[in-house]
Structure formats: structure tokens, C-alpha cells
Structure 1
Amino acid sequence: MSDTFIDVLTLGMWQANCYVIGNLEQREAVVIDPGQGGDGPVQEILDERGVTCQAILLTHGHLDHLWAVPSLVADLDVPVRMHAEDRWLWDSPAAAFGAPPAMLQTQFGLDWQPPTEHLETFGDGQTMALAGLAFTAHHTPGHTPGSSVFITDQVGPAPVMVSGDLIFAGSVGRTDFPRGSRDTQDQSIRRVVLPQPDETRIISGHGPETTVGRERLTNPFVVPLTTH
């Protein structure tokens, strides 16, 4: 679709990628993973593109991917959708570090007050109609229990996978955080990533864009999974 767009913002101390994906004809967009300091830049993109935000989608509940959610929800009054298995991180992002909630204030100066009244969940394989586009959510646990990816084939000539921290260009997500599992993550990659067409674009939570075909052939963490 020629009237669609993907804008990327690389945010905060963790250099996490936030995506604004929209439809100029519909004048609507979705925001995915708005991290530290993302509220102002996200609003600037929405204003520059002349679109309104329909929803915020979260690939998982780590702080670098949801830091700006409370302030954005206060400004935009939109639902936030994440997998239910990461609700523990929504309630207390410090749990990702194995730390008490007060750690967010003492170490990062963040007074975490999540807008839980706006929180919604999605299921594995659920297709969400947002901004005139169809996003299919796939539950891909491993990095976190609720880690998920969103796939759409309605933005540009090739399908797009918003992969969060499941897979990156040349690497995969860490699994040494609380409730992470390398074996589970490998299963998620086999089940969700490897069946996708080679031309599928992977836009991940950190680093540059890549494709399924490139990672299938060159990613040292993925290549062994193609032979089993």
C-alpha cells in the first residue's frame, strides 16, 4: 500500500527501537514499543504525518520498550495491548532485573504508574485491525514469557515482522533475565520466524533492519535451528 509508512525512533539509554506504523489514507497509526523519552518524539511523528494513534502495541514488558507508555496514554487516550504472560512486568518492570519496585525510582528516577485501565491483551495468532491494517500477533516466549511479534503484509511489497527482542540482525534476544529461556526462545524462532518467506522484513527491538532470508543463512544463533 503506497499510503502506508513505518517510522523508527531509537530511544533512551538502551537504544531501543520504537515504531510508528500508519496509513496516510486512513490518517491513523499504531505505536509499538515506546521506550525511554519516547513520548515527545512519538507525538512529533504523529503530528508531522497528520495521523492519530489508534493503539499502543508492546512486544514485551521490559522497561526499555514501555517506559513512555503512561505519558503517551495520558496524552492520546488509547488502549495498550500486550500478551497476558508479561503482566508481571507491566505491574513492576523492576522485576525484569530481579529487583524491588523502588529500584525504578532510586536508579532511574522513574515513578512507574501504569495506566492499567487501558491495558488489553491479545492471543497467539490473533489478527488485530488497526489503522486500516491487519497485524497478526504471534506469541514467541523465551526472552520473556509474554514476548510476541507482530506481522503485517500490508506495508510495502514484502511482509513485515516487528520482532521485539526475539531476533535481531545477526543475533537473538538475551535469555538470562528472570523467566527467560533459551530453549523456549529457540522453539519460538523455529515456529514463527523460520516458516516466513525469505523476503520478510524483520524490524527488531534493537539495531538495524534485516530479513528472514538473511538471518536464516548468516545468523549464528539461527543457522543451527534450520537443521533440526
Structure 2
Amino acid sequence: MEILTVVAPVFGARCSVVVGPDRSCVVVDAGAGVGGQVRALVEGRGLRPRAVLATHGHADHTWDAPGLAAAWDVPVVLHAADAYRLADPFGTLGVLDPRHDPHGPLAQALGAAGVDVGAWQPPARVEPFGSASDARSADALLAWDDVRLVARHAPGHTEGSTLYLLDADGAAPTVLSGDVLFAGSVGRTDLPGGDDATMAATLRDVVATLPPDAVVLPGHGPATDVRTELATNPYLARAR
């Protein structure tokens, strides 16, 4: 499978277009301001979109998901524990909610990108996976034609944060890590639904058990790999 990247203007969130051999594709993390670029990319390459996925429900990873899903008549897919966030993605951001802090970092980023905070419309079709009540759900195999991903529940940043693992013909997987793992850091745990102890357990029991040569494409910032993070990431070191 091929992975194409579009970087959102809001917080530099990574949006990934995962393309199967048959030209089917899914879009992962359609953040604020990527919709036009993603549609042009998909249409220019003659791709067939099947779903819009989210690694978690924060607005900087989901804002353009409803519009893309509606344009293509496909579902928005994310872990059941974060599905509630799609009703009001700003209302679940606590201190970052731009309606409560009109001069805060998210409000400024949205304004610079020309995003209307009041324009949110929840997606018409949502297809959650996993369990909203389990501390950690079992892996879910998500498949659309030739696009196949393993969704691995990795709570801590949010309740439903998820790693998407893509097999590479028997080689080590590529991991779309959202805001669970960054190069040299991890996602914050001080927003609603975040939890330090849960994140530490995820780092120890989920992230640290990934294949060392797995490539990691974080939700923000540069790519990395599991071996490098095990050796240098201070948050992983403390969690182990």
C-alpha cells in the first residue's frame, strides 16, 4: 500500500491517504483545512475513497472529515470511545476550546486558516469500532477492498486514541500514531479524556511491543521509527 501525506494548516496535523493496489483509498485524520487538497489529490489520481478515519476525535484531526465523507458518500470511522466527540469536537477540548478562549492557540490557528468555528456539522454516517466501555479494546481489522489496516486501541491522549498499522508485504508495519507517539515525545494528557497512568500503560504495553523497525508517522511532526523512540524518547523510557 502507498501512503500519501497532506499537512493541515492548523497545528501542522498530518493527513494520510492510504492507497491500495486496486486504487481504493481511505483518508486518515482529515484535519482543518485539508479538504480541498485531499479531494484534488484523490480525484487527480483517480482514487476510489472508501472511508475517512480518525486516530482520535480532536478537532485538529477531524474538522474536514464530515465534508469529505459527505462528498464521497462514505462513513467516518473511529474508535467507539471517541465517537461522542464528533457531536461537538471543540466542547471536548477543555482549555483549548476556541469559543472559551478566542485568543488561544487553537483559535488563532483556525482563524489564520480561515476556518469558521461555528460551521461544524457532525458527519451523517459514523461507523465506530471497538468498545467504549473497555479499558483497552482488542485489535480490529478494518478492510475496504484492497485497503487493510489493523486498528490498535491506544488510550491516554484520549479515551479512543488508536494506532493504525499497515502491513507492507511481510515487512515491518507502518504505524499511523496520531497523537499517541511523536518523534521524541507523546501526546498531552491534560485535556478532557486524557490520563497520565493510561498513557504510561499504552506506551509500555502497546507502543513498546511494536516491531522495532516499524516506521511511525505521527499526527504532528517528522516521521520516526520504534527502535529510535525506544532508545531516545524519555516518555517511553519512564513508562517501561
* Length-normalised TM-score, structure 2: 0.85
- Aligned counterparts of 2:74 and 2:235: Cα–Cα separation in 1: 37
**1:113 match:** 121
**1:177 match:** 191
Give 1:160's aligned amino acid.
T
Q: Secondary structure at the match of 1:207?
A: coil
1:92-117 Cα shifts (integer Å, max 9, x gaps): 1112332798929x7552311112x3
**2:55 match:** 59
Question: Which consecutive residues of structure 1, in runs of 5 or more, have no partner in the other structure?
Answer: none
Is the contact made by 2:15 and 2:30 (CA closer than 8 Å) also made in structure 1? yes
Offset, 1:87? 2.3
Is the contact made by 2:30 and 2:61 (CA closer than 8 Å) also made in structure 1? yes
- Candidates 148, 167, 180, aligned match of 1:134: 148
Question: Which consecutive residues of structure 2, in runs of 5 or more, have no partner in the other structure?
Answer: 111-115, 131-136
Is the contact made by 1:202 and 1:211 (CA closer than 8 Å) also made in structure 2? yes
Q: Secondary structure at the match of 1:153?
A: strand
Q: CA RMSD in A?
A: 2.1
* Length-normalised TM-score, structure 1: 0.89
Is the contact made by 1:80 and 1:119 (CA closer than 8 Å) also made in structure 2? yes
CA change 1:183–1:100 in 2 (3 A) is closer
CA change 1:99–1:208 in 2 (3 A) is closer
Offset, 1:225? 2.5
With 151-160 and 94-103 compared, the bigger mean Cα shift is at 94-103
- Aligned counterparts of 1:100 and 1:188: Cα–Cα separation in 2: 24
- Candidates 25, 29, 35, aligned match of 2:25: 29
CA change 1:122–1:189 in 2 (3 A) is same
1:57-102 Cα shifts (integer Å, max 9, x gaps): 1110000000101211221110111111112311111123327989
